[in-house]
Structure 1
Amino acid sequence: MQTKITKQQAWEHLKKYNKEEFHQLHGLTVAAVMRWYADKLGYGAEADFWEIVGLLHDIDFEKYPEEHCKKAPELLAEIGAEDELIHAVCSHGYGICVDIKPEHQMEKVLFASDELTGLIGAAALMRPSKSVQDMPLKSLKKKFKDKKFAAGCSRDIINQGAEMLRWPIEELLDKTLDAMKAEEEKIHMEINK
């Protein structure tokens, strides 16, 4: 899968509908994690597409939270997004706010890692370093099991995502933590541009 939308176009469009830095940072984080996964899972030729889907996945969330994944097709059409990109973006709301099922491996990775990046980000903020760089998997697993920690990050959705991918939950946690460690510096450089 390819897209005619550039990363810069996607970034500008995300910022048009998401003014809060928190949402912009989340978009950049998921984009970087998606690109990392594309490369690691043998989809390197599609890495740009995976990254742009990650960047735009919450395009409608800040401005239209009640219409999440329902308003997205309209907003993405403004920049000429392909049907595949729109389907991918909307599929991460499967069973939550839409009935668009993740079919492609990329869509399953997005579904699985979206909430998890939020949980990992919250766990990083609790560390003295404020970074994922020194976060061991053991620490993340402890935070994952603590339902009171980052309660807004649904463990059910993360577990569902791992099942979709046919990965043990520990593998999903480990890989996504590795992705965030590998991409953390780049993400912070991009948000501070």
Structure 2
Amino acid sequence: MNRFLLVPFYEHPADRPEAWSALVEAAPSLYGVVVNPASGAGEAPDPAFAAVAGRLRAAGVPLLGYADTAYGRRPHAEVVTDLLRHRDWYGTDGAFLDQVATAPAALAHYRRIAVAARAAGAGTLVLNHGAHPDPGYEEFADLLVTFEGPWDTYRTLDLPVAAHYCHLVYAAPPGVRPVTPVHCAVPGTGAHPWGTLPHLLEPAR
């Protein structure tokens, strides 16, 4: 089974039910889907997200709870609270930490978060640096997002490639496939590019 797509899809299931159904149907190709109801878990469970999370789990899709870390500025307890809520409300079995620092000075902070995430049941831990980080982060994460940005930038770069690196590319034309084994390329642009699915998963309209 080739699970090559890590999909951050930040749309409400009530607004885009057909797109969430397309994710369920694509289950065998999904490395994971990032669950992000409210730039995190929010303050209370969202029934629509809980329902679609149940469908994805039943299809065998790994679910990664989203938590913003503000490049190390967000307190440890707030990040862990987000991850625990994702687990308890949506049944996530992994974590997607966003806006992760790249410098070695923040390693201890993120190592502590990683320990807490594993203790909370995160079988898969993804760190979204958006750029190439210090190699110390490889010690405690399963996947490092070492590029996040538009296709016009991505196509000009010669980035390192490894099995545990992931590239997230937006404003991508049809047929584009990033070079890392796990990746995602979507057509979305502007301030909210992750409100679109990869071209090959977009349901017919």
| TM-score higher than 0.5 | no
Task: Give the TM-score normalised by structure 1.
Answer: 0.35
Higher strand proportion, which one? 2
Higher helix proportion, which one? 1
The structure, 1 or 2, with the larger RCO (C-alpha pairs under 8 Å, 6+ apart) is 1
Task: Give the TM-score normalised by structure 2.
Answer: 0.33
